[in-house]
Amino acid sequence: MAQAMPPESSQERDAAAAKFRRTLTRVLIVQLVSMIVLGLIQVYYNR
Amino acid sequence: MHWINWTIVVVYLVYVVWDGIRLSKNTDTVSGYFVANRSLAWWVVGLSVMATQLSAVTMIGTTGQGATAGLSFIQIYLGLPLAMVILGVTIVPMLHGSGVYTAYEYLERRFDAKTRSLTSLLFLLSRGMSCGTIIAAPAVVFSAIWGIPVAWSVALIGVPTVIYTMVGGVQAVAWTDVKQMVLIVVALFGVMAALLIQMPISPHEGLRIAGATGRLNAFDFSFDLSETYTFWSGMIGGTFLMLSYFGTDQSQVQRFLTARSVDQAKSSLLMSAYWKIPLQALVLFVGVGVFLYYQFVRPPLLYNPAHESRVAAERGDAYADLQRRYDEVFTERQAAALDVADAQDDASETAAMESFRAREAELLAIRGEALALAGDVTGEPTGDVNYIIPRFVLSELPLGMAGLFIAGVMAAAMSSIAAELNALATATVIDFYQRWWRREGDDAHYLAISKGATAFWGIFACIVATYAATLGSLIEVVNQFGSFFYGSILGVFLLAMIRRASARGAFVGLIAGMTTVGFVAFRTDVAYLWQNVIGAAVVVAVGVALSGPREVPAAAA
């Protein structure tokens, strides 16, 4: 049932790290945009 | 309910069962039944993950919360995107890559059998009960609205779900989740569109009124550990909660184990990272929209129709008096709301808002009296937040829209229940039956046991749901108990990634984490989101401290 994962080379690790950074950046940008929109609505209409 | 709305609901129910059974191909092996032979595309898994997480409570409870409290609930999801990225580089490759069927199975490979069995048992206990409450929440509302016994509405939701989950396994669950998720989103957009069309004021004017009552306050930046929903509890406690739920709860882990590769599994979780907050905002804005609509159309004094008719019958005079005062204040509040919408300058806007807030407070006070009266008459809990949206949908939306929304609520309930039944059966068979009773058996044997386990948990959940009111305090205790180990189980998985961590450290750490969280829950007023952080931190600290520095465990194969 179990499948051992093959060892990663340093190139694969670098590529995976770069991919992780790109993904993290994209996700955080989307989250930031959502929060800015909600925050602006809160600030503008909370008078 | 009009027959056209009933037709839509019945067509949905028939379709979902037919579709689930039709999708039962390739489920004649344990791998096919529990993890779809690890063959599903990322978008199927991603929608299944979202559908599992979005239950009927979201459709009727969270929208109701949007109507009464506004957007603040969204803060609980602030940690979700980051949690999904972290899971993508930690637990997802660890579990998917090791070829396990359950998250807890991995813990035996990394630590020992007792850690696996304890974590799996905790999952079975808490999820078995929570599955019942997931059915009970919409069933109780449907029962009150349609005037049918709770057992019938439980059967209406539970029986079709058990049938297609039992016959079709995870493949049926995932593919029906996809269609159910589409239906849920269509229903939410449909209600929002109907609200915008029927609203007598512009969206900008509406937002001014909602803002005046604080319903647009999405973020609370105060650092108060006893406050449930703040920016910080969401960002920190919410991250730990989402790591626990999506990374260690079998009902979610099993979704990404069906993906055809580790990369596809990661992508499936990222779908929630991108879309969960906007979707949750839509859910809450629907609630805010209903609140605004009821500024101009008089809402019922009591939203629960069963309570309304009993109070009117048994305490008619007192209720009629409350109703008369309610009608008067409603008319004044309606005028004040229009003044807020029409205000041309800051001075008139401020005056109009003050008047509006005063009328709103009066109206809430009268509703409080009516709820207390309902409590006296019925002897039941009187919170009616869950009835606001169903009442609105059935009385105010155009023909057909109510049927669509009720079908959406059922889809939300069924997608969550199906995933949980599937996960409960998997943990029962893989972690207990196969591990402790019968280690060698053919696929046909395990498949028969798996279908039996699915049916067992389905019947158990329906019984819990039917007697939810009677079992109220027991369910509460079990749910509270469940929250004690959520962060703690995450702590065990974090320990699994630390090379020096030992089996003894993991097991004792788990007990220490749960005990600490139990103490914090009973003896302090620290909000529950923070308990996940505390549980995980204690498990890791105790686990590392008890693990000898030289002990290097065998790598999980």
Nearest to B273 among A3, A27, A41 (CB): A27
CB-based contact (8 Å) between A33 and chain B?
Answer: no
- Integer angstrom CA distances of residue B213 from B288, B298, B384: 11, 18, 20
Which residues lie below 8 Å from residue B488, measured CB to CB, with a gap of 6+? B509, B510, B513, B514, B517, B535, B536, B538, B539
pLDDT tens by residue, B11-69: 999 999 999 888 877 778 899 999 999 999 999 999 999 999 998 888 888 898 899 88
The answer to whether B502 touches B548, Cβ cutoff 8 Å, is yes
Q: A41, B218: Cβ pair inside 8 Å? A: yes
Nearest to B98 among A2, A27, A30 (CB): A2
B285, closest residue in chain A (CA to CA): A38
Return d(Cα B336, Cα B113) in angstroms, integer: 66
pLDDT tens by residue, B346-404: 788 888 888 888 999 999 999 999 999 998 888 877 778 888 898 899 888 888 899 99
pTM for this predicted structure: 0.89
The three-state secondary structure class of B112 is coil
Q: B88, A47: Cβ pair inside 8 Å? A: no
Q: How many helices (H) and strands (E) does chain A have?
A: 1, 0
pLDDT for B266 equals 92
CB-based contact (8 Å) between A43 and chain B?
Answer: no
Hey, what's the torsion of the CAs at A27, A33, A35, A38, to 10 degrees? -140
Provide the sign of the torsion angle of the four alpha carbons B256, B258, B262, B263, taken in this order.
negative
Q: Which ranges of B294-345 does DSSP label H, i.e. alpha helix?
A: 305-314, 316-342
In chain B, what are the domain boundaries?
A: 3-294+398-472, 305-382
Chain A residue numbers with beta carbons less than 8 Å from the beta carbon of B214 are 46
- Integer angstrom CA distances of residue B116 from B19, B98, B103, B380, B427: 35, 15, 9, 40, 10
Those of residues 233-272 in B touching chain A at CB distance below 8 A are 270
pLDDT tens by residue, B183-236: 999 999 999 999 999 998 899 889 988 998 889 999 999 988 888 889 999 999
Mean of the per-residue pLDDT values for chain B?
89
A17, closest residue in chain B (CA to CA): B89
Q: Residue B499, class by beta-carbon neighbours within 10 Å (0-12 exposed, 13-18 middle, 19+ buried)?
A: exposed
pLDDT tens by residue, A1-47: 444 455 567 888 788 778 878 888 888 898 899 999 999 999 988 76
Q: Distance from B369 to chain A by nearest Cα, in Å? A: 29
| Residue type (1 letter), B252 | Q
Nearest to A42 among B84, B101, B216 (CB): B216
CATH class of B3-294+398-472: mainly alpha
Those of residues 454-513 in B touching chain A at CB distance below 8 A are none
What is the b/e burial string over B165-187, where b = at least 16 CB atoms within 10 angstroms of the residue's CB?
bbbbbbbbbbbbbbbbbebbbeb
Helix axes B503-523, B528-546, angle to 10 degrees: 150
Which residues lie below 8 Å from residue B368, measured CB to CB, with a gap of 6+? none
